[in-house]
Amino acid sequence: MMQQYLVAPGRRFRLDRVDPDDTSGFDGSKDDGRKRLEDLRDRLENLQELLYAEHKHSVLVVLQGMDTAGKDGTIRRVFDGVNPEGVRVASFKKPSLAELDHDFLWRAHAETPARGQMVLFNRSHYEDVLITRVHGLIPRAQWERRYREINEFERTLSEEGTTILKFFLHISRDEQKRRLNARLADPTKHWKFREADREERRRWGAYMDAYEEAIGKTSTRWAPWYVVPSDRKWFRDLIVSARIVRALERLRMRYPPLPPGVPTSRVR
């Protein structure tokens, strides 16, 4: 189910060949998908506890997507029930003055997971080859150089024991329009809407070009990209959950034994 959404390293990638409304990766109904998601959440909860207890590996999950693609919703639904002691979310907004005084990866490196941790990047260091490019904030030569720097950064993390999973939540322009209008129609969601959302939407084509190139040039063996059809929220959550669970299972983790010298006799 997941491999068809993997962006193969070293191959030319075309974003327009991925249907945002596709559900062919799952042979079942929406209700079947939701039931499967519940099972995966239970499995993820157990695996995350094992990750924290074993304290040998770390996991970095990168979530990128256009406005309304569902980054917040994915985090809420996929990670419902995990132990917050071992999982945290890092969000990347407009860089502060202090962050701008350092290299562009400085703030990302500071948020990477320690051993036993799982960290979710809600947006990420990829903003520095997306927004900066689309808005013309830095020269072309600079954002092109950053693809190599990102690959080297992620390779270092991987070699130090971090499993990296990157998801582009792919929605259609029509679905974004529907979701933005739904926010305007619901007073409880007005806080989510910014006037800048309209301006960013006018740059849709430029963002698709930027995402296509960034994903194609930074999907690697050690930090692969998955382009997840996200017009249907239940399917988006299912794909992300399944991939994370599979990655954790491949770590073949074990609970640590009692320390040497500690007796196994019952406490009285």
Q: Does 264 reside within a domain?
A: no
Q: Does 261 reside within a domain?
A: no
Report residue 118: phi and psi, to 5°: -120, 125
Q: Does 254 reside within a domain?
A: no
Q: Does 180 reside within a domain?
A: yes
Distance CA 219, CA 151 (A): 8
Tokens of 236: 């988006």
Per the structure, the count of domains in the chain is 1
Q: Does 208 reside within a domain?
A: yes
Q: Does 211 reside within a domain?
A: yes
Q: Does 266 reside within a domain?
A: no
Domain of 175, CATH number, reads 3.40.50.300
The range of the structural domain enclosing residue 206 comes to 3-249
Identify the sign of the CA torsion 27, 30, 36, 37.
positive
The predicted model scores a pTM of 0.94
Q: pLDDT 10s digit of each residue in the chain, 268 long?
A: 668 899 999 888 899 999 999 998 788 889 999 999 999 999 999 999 999 999 999 999 999 999 999 999 999 999 988 888 899 999 998 899 999 999 999 999 999 999 999 999 999 999 999 999 999 999 999 999 999 999 999 999 999 999 999 999 999 999 999 999 999 999 999 998 888 888 999 999 999 999 999 999 999 999 999 999 999 999 999 999 999 999 999 999 999 998 888 887 888 8
| Number of residues that this document lists for the chain | 268
The residue type found at 10 is: G
Report the pLDDT value the prediction gives residue 164, as an integer from 0 to 100: 98
Q: Does 72 reside within a domain?
A: yes
Report the pLDDT value the prediction gives residue 1, as an integer from 0 to 100: 62
Distance CA 248, CA 43 (A): 10
